[in-house]
Amino acid sequence: MSFLVTILGSGAAVPTAKRNPTSQYVQCSSRSILIDCGEGTQMQFRKFGMKYQKVDLILISHLHGDHYFGLVGLLSTMHMMGRTRAIEIYGPKGLKDIVDIQLHAAGSRLSFDVHIHEVEPETSGILFEDNKIKVEYFPLAHKIPTNGFIILQKEKERKLNIEKAEADGVKIRYYHLLKKSEDVVDAEGRLLRFEDYTFKAGNELRYAYCSDTKYHEPIIEFIEGVDVLYHEATFVDAHQDRAKGTKHSTARQAATIASEAKVGRLLMGHLSARYDDGEVHQQEAREIFQYSHFVEDGEVIRIDK
Amino acid sequence: MSFLVTILGSGAAVPTAKRNPTSQYVQCSSRSILIDCGEGTQMQFRKFGMKYQKVDLILISHLHGDHYFGLVGLLSTMHMMGRTRAIEIYGPKGLKDIVDIQLHAAGSRLSFDVHIHEVEPETSGILFEDNKIKVEYFPLAHKIPTNGFIILQKEKERKLNIEKAEADGVKIRYYHLLKKSEDVVDAEGRLLRFEDYTFKAGNELRYAYCSDTKYHEPIIEFIEGVDVLYHEATFVDAHQDRAKGTKHSTARQAATIASEAKVGRLLMGHLSARYDDGEVHQQEAREIFQYSHFVEDGEVIRIDK
């Protein structure tokens, strides 16, 4: 089961020829999740050969336009291309009114249901969970209420505690269910709890997304130990005053968060339009955290250990 | 004084790799006018090397997203790039609320004034006029209230009625003012009216814009004799039922309007994403009106006789 992140936009507020505003497409097990949806995201889907109709969930971090101005256009195109399957959208308070006023003005009734779930500022919790993935949110620290997200791919199969299973006379035919985290009632009416007969396999994967935010240590407890962290790095050291003034981060600050949170790898994005590339960001980040990398539009990252 | 139309987007509701949603940038004398502003318009400005900060007026034809979803993003970028000069926006009722709710959600106060002028449905009139240009609007016939626009470049210089000027003893030094449509009080205190001493030079130019609309003959009286007409041509004959159902036009219908209105040339756009190019449109239109042409993104059209 794959876990891939495609960078649809790696730029900041002002788009450039090379960097679209923020958007990431996450394929995790059989779920497809869009995180943020800056202007032009539907064109980026097309450009990189991805299928926007597969999106199940959309997560909007905050209501600065470079993170959501492509949303209503994407929904409209999904409609015109015949979508019937409902879509779930999670975002800050105010998002629903913004979507509704534009759909209403167009006089259009979409061919599919749009469920917009608004979260309270400064809270954290679970947005979505099924037997394969879990999506969590937590507060970042920006100019307006902003959330980070964690997408967790659950363990595919647990390891069987073969000794205990044999000792208790569990029939072999129940093994695969127990390994898939299912409790079983056997032929004798006995309840076999999967947690009693299996161990964690240790192949759960977590991807954390933090954009936009100033340097904010309370993030660390939420993202501790994730396999891959995306953290905005709008500026380099030379513009750290600008970072402070706009409540954004420098590459060094992103790397510090990554290091403190003991993550596997750091991806950086949200590059200010003043920079031609992320070379200096990468250099400054690696002085703090070696596994730092600046992403590009169209790049595909495999989430693994 | 130039009069140029740059096609920023020639596509219809669903953008394709080659065609962005509708937007046109009109440079007329010293004024810069943006007509419609589909998603990604700010990126198109950048792609084609045009300067969005020069825009003085924005005209929004109607509130289907493919004609305005790029507007708030463009205003935001103008702000971030330091604009201070006010901008005038003309559009249908409802536009102001849509812009305001998004600016409010972002917690941002723009660095320049945005004056949004909403026009009543089914009316016509003058939106803007100075000594060099005039912008008019008139109703089209689409699913929701929609306006067409005419941009008129006034005569640069009138022709002197040299015989009358000499007969009345008008001093030569007043000739250039009279030709520039200015009344003059001469050294003897005599009022010289430019209309008495000059003729129309016949170099006034008019560009008409009609998107989106079904075939609608009442348009003709408004656009009669314009030098260049842009008229949407979403479909070809084979899909005329679809045109009828969606209140759009076929290329043949656009050409019929052009022919009846005795315009100089016809530009067609708003190509449905189902077509690879506008070849068939052009062929069908030319059977009715020879000077028909399907536009492409990035194309620059000089408005002339």
For residue B25, which amino acid is it?
Y
- Residue A121's closest CA among A63, A71, A65, A206? A63
CB–CB of B76 and A97 under 8 A? no
Q: How large is the average pLDDT for residues A155-179? A: 92
CB–CB of A65 and B80 under 8 A? no
**Angstrom distance (rounded) from CA B224 to CA B18:** 32
| Strand blocks (E) in A144-298 | 147-153, 159-160, 184-185, 191-192, 198-199, 205-210, 228-232, 265-269, 292-294
CA distance B142 to chain A (A): 11
- Please write the tens of the pLDDT for every residue from B56-114: 999 999 999 999 999 999 999 999 999 999 999 999 999 999 999 999 999 988 999 99
Q: Which residues contact A244 (CB under 8 A, 6 or more apart)?
A: A214
Q: Token pair 């259009």 is at which residue?
A: A108
Contacts of B98 in chain A (CB under 8 A): 101-102, 105
**Angstrom distance (rounded) from CA A258 to CA A255:** 5
Query: Collapsing DSSP states into helix, strand and coil, what is residue A240?
Result: helix
- Residue B232's closest CA among B286, B290, B292, B287? B292
How confident is residue B120, by pLDDT bands cut at 50, 70 and 90? very high
CA torsion sign, B276 to B282 to B287 to B289?
positive
Judge whether residue A1 has pLDDT over 80: no
Element (H, E) at A257: helix A251-260
Q: How large is the average pLDDT for residues A275-294? A: 97
Q: Would you state the pLDDT for residue B192? A: 95
Token pair of B150, please?
Answer: 């005419």
- DSSP output for B89-144: EEEETTHHHHHHHHHHHTT---SS-EEEEEE-TT--EEEEE-SSEEEEEEE--SSS
CA distance B58 to chain A (A): 19
A11 touching B, CB under 8 A? Answer: no
Q: How large is the average pLDDT for residues A255-281? A: 97
CB–CB of B39 and A97 under 8 A? no
- Residue in A102, A108, A116 to test binding to B, most B beta-carbons within 10 Å: A102
A106 touching B, CB under 8 A? Answer: yes
Q: How large is the average pLDDT for residues B132-136? A: 95
CA torsion sign, A229 to A234 to A239 to A241?
negative
CB–CB of B15 and A63 under 8 A? no
Helix axes B251-260, B279-286, angle to 10 degrees: 40
- Give yes or no for a contact between A271 and A235, defined as CB atoms under 8 angstroms apart: no
Nearest CA in chain B to A48: B17
- Please write the tens of the pLDDT for every residue from A101-130: 999 999 988 999 999 999 999 999 999 999
DSSP secondary structure code for residue A144 in this structure: S
Q: Which residues pair with B6 in a beta bridge?
A: B25, B300
B97 touching A, CB under 8 A? Answer: yes
Nearest CA in chain A to B143: A107
Judge whether residue B265 has pLDDT over 80: yes
CB–CB of A77 and B13 under 8 A? yes
Q: Would you state the pLDDT for residue A128? A: 96
Nearest CA in chain A to B64: A106
Contacts of B9 in chain A (CB under 8 A): none
Q: Would you state the pLDDT for residue B1? A: 64
Phi, psi at B284, each rounded to 5°: -70, -40
Nearest CA in chain B to A44: B17
Q: Which residues pair with A271 in a beta bridge?
A: A11
B93 touching A, CB under 8 A? Answer: no
Token pair of A164, please?
Answer: 């205990």
CB–CB of A144 and B105 under 8 A? yes
User: What is the percentage of chain B residues whose pLDDT exceeds 90?
Assistant: 93
CB–CB of B65 and A72 under 8 A? yes
B11 touching A, CB under 8 A? Answer: no
Q: How large is the average pLDDT for residues B30-36? A: 96
- Residue in A69, A93, A248 to test binding to B, most B beta-carbons within 10 Å: A69
B20 touching A, CB under 8 A? Answer: yes
CB–CB of B106 and A70 under 8 A? no
A23-28 sheet: strands from edge to edge: A114-119, A87-92, A57-59, A31-37, A23-28, A3-9, A300-302
Model ipTM? 0.89
Nearest CA in chain A to B20: A43
Q: Residue B125: how many CB atoms within 10 A of its CB?
A: 9
Q: Where are the domains of chain B?
A: 3-154+204-302, 159-196
**Angstrom distance (rounded) from CA B253 to CA B160:** 42
* B258 vs B181, residue with greater confidence: B258
**Angstrom distance (rounded) from CA A95 to CA B105:** 8
Topology, domain B3-154+204-302: Metallo-beta-lactamase; Chain A (3.60.15)
Size of interface A-B (CB pairs under 8 A): 103
- Please write the tens of the pLDDT for every residue from A31-80: 999 999 999 999 999 999 999 999 999 999 999 999 999 999 999 999 99
Q: Which residues pair with B37 in a beta bridge?
A: B23
Q: Which of B42, B43, B97 sits opposite A101 (nearest CB)?
A: B97
Q: Would you state the pLDDT for residue A100? A: 97
CA distance B256 to chain A (A): 28
Q: Would you state the pLDDT for residue B131? A: 85
CB–CB of B76 and A13 under 8 A? yes
How confident is residue B155, by pLDDT bands cut at 50, 70 and 90? confident
- Chain B, window 24-63: residues with a beta carbon less than 8 angstroms from a chain A beta carbon: 39-40, 42-43, 46-47, 63
**What residues of A are labeled active site?**
66
Q: What is the pTM of this model?
A: 0.91
What is the bridge-based pairing of β-strands B265-269 and B87-92?
Answer: unpaired
**Angstrom distance (rounded) from CA B232 to CA B256:** 12
B203 touching A, CB under 8 A? Answer: no
Judge whether residue A3 has pLDDT over 80: yes
How confident is residue B236, by pLDDT bands cut at 50, 70 and 90? very high
CB–CB of B72 and A64 under 8 A? no
**What residues of B are labeled active site?**
66
What is the average pLDDT score of chain A? 96
CB–CB of A65 and B72 under 8 A? yes
The length of chain A, given as a count of residues:
305
User: What is the percentage of chain A residues whose pLDDT exceeds 90?
Assistant: 93
Token pair of A2, please?
Answer: 């794959």
